[in-house]
A and B are shown apart, each in its own frame.
Chain A
Amino acid sequence: MTNYSRRDFIKIITNSLLSASGLLGLGGLLRYLNFSTETPVKTEFDLGLASDYPLGSRTLFPDIPAVLIHDDKGFSALSLVCSHLGCIVQDNNNGFICPCHGSYFDINGDVQRGPARHDLRLLRVENIEDNRLILFIT
């Protein structure tokens, strides 16, 4: 059994405590440097295979929020953010209605009733190489 002197014992304890403190301090520093006050905004969404959305389909993505439209012209998408004050419009089969102030948009996103004065925003959809659809909300 190794015999430690009193001096060695204090040295080991000191180094251990300093190492633990250093690790804690470093962890805190990294956390501080990595902290972001602004929640990162996701601007691209992988919608999966284009073949999952047959011709004539209208698919809602409430979390984005957007609606993917597949018609004769191909794929397109509308933002579900009301052009008035940013509430999320709801699909009512014949169009979209804003639950906040009642703005009404037809199925093409064209405003039919105010207070919104602008149509729903058209979003970009790209069909990439492996036949996957990417939706851009910027």
Chain B
Amino acid sequence: MAASASLPTPPGVKYGGPTQIFINNKFVSSVSGKTFKTVNPSTGEVIAEVAEGDKADIDRAVAAADEAFSKWRRVPGENRGKLLTRLAGLVEENLAVLAEAESLDNGMQITLAKGNVKGLASWLRHYAGYADKLHGVSSPLSASNQLMYTIYEPLGVVGAIVPWNFPLSLAVWKLAPALACGNTIVIKPSEKTPLSLLRLAELVVKAGFPPGVVNVVPGYGPTAGDALARHMRVRKITFTGSVTSGRLILKAAAETNLKKVTLELGGKSPIIVCDDADLDEAAFFAYNGLFINQGQFCAAGSRVFVQDSVYDQFVEKAVELAERRLANVGSPQNAVSRHSLYPSRYPSLPLSPP
């Protein structure tokens, strides 16, 4: 059996996953009725037409999240944790469809996509465990008739803008802790990779999350992303992506309600290989740490410092590994291929993750 035959959508069959905006646990068209095409970068073919959210849709999603927050914040931590745990189980059960969406849309090797999806269940369970352990401290004051204590309160609606390189992982890293703490969330995936998050949204309903707790609005950075970053009811915005977009988001927050901002931007991460290192091991990890997902990895080890006396040997090993990778070039949906698309297909737009 060909490796790709195990995918839920066989070649030639129309993509069957959700393609609309997810608000209040329902998939809906965009207010404008507009759609955009999402393309399989390994073939250049259109996978699906996706509803294009802009400011009007962000407004609807934030209103839904805001309304849901008033009740969600009162849901006991134990129950929030239970829902996240249930979502983790559903992610595992639906590994194949989630990984397929990720691989088709992003060009990620299917084996890497499956590994990542499997990992998501761990992240969800990890944060599920925090949900009932968010406690503050008490402090003895000088006056004997005074009581002082602190509590952790959720912020409210959290906005999340997620890039295309690891769409599901980065969304879950933002979603899981936000929900565990009692916040609600509006996520804008990259316009290049909306499909896997819409699959996850299906599971959010199945898990039993109340409507409005999780919302997903596919769209472009300058429209949907900007509206989310500027929304007065969004209390925090979290973004992973390019430095250029990060600056715009910080500025948008500063110019509106000074919402809290979390940015995880570019990298040029060094790897230092000393002359006493196990060279095979070092070369392998340096190779994998750079070429994983074709170098489209924020923490990619893109500067490898190698000590003089082992330098030539290391370069030889690096070339061997690259050669082997090239020998396995192929469709990302084929489990044996190791090397696939490269990102020149993806020019960065302002406020659009790289």
Real binding pair: no
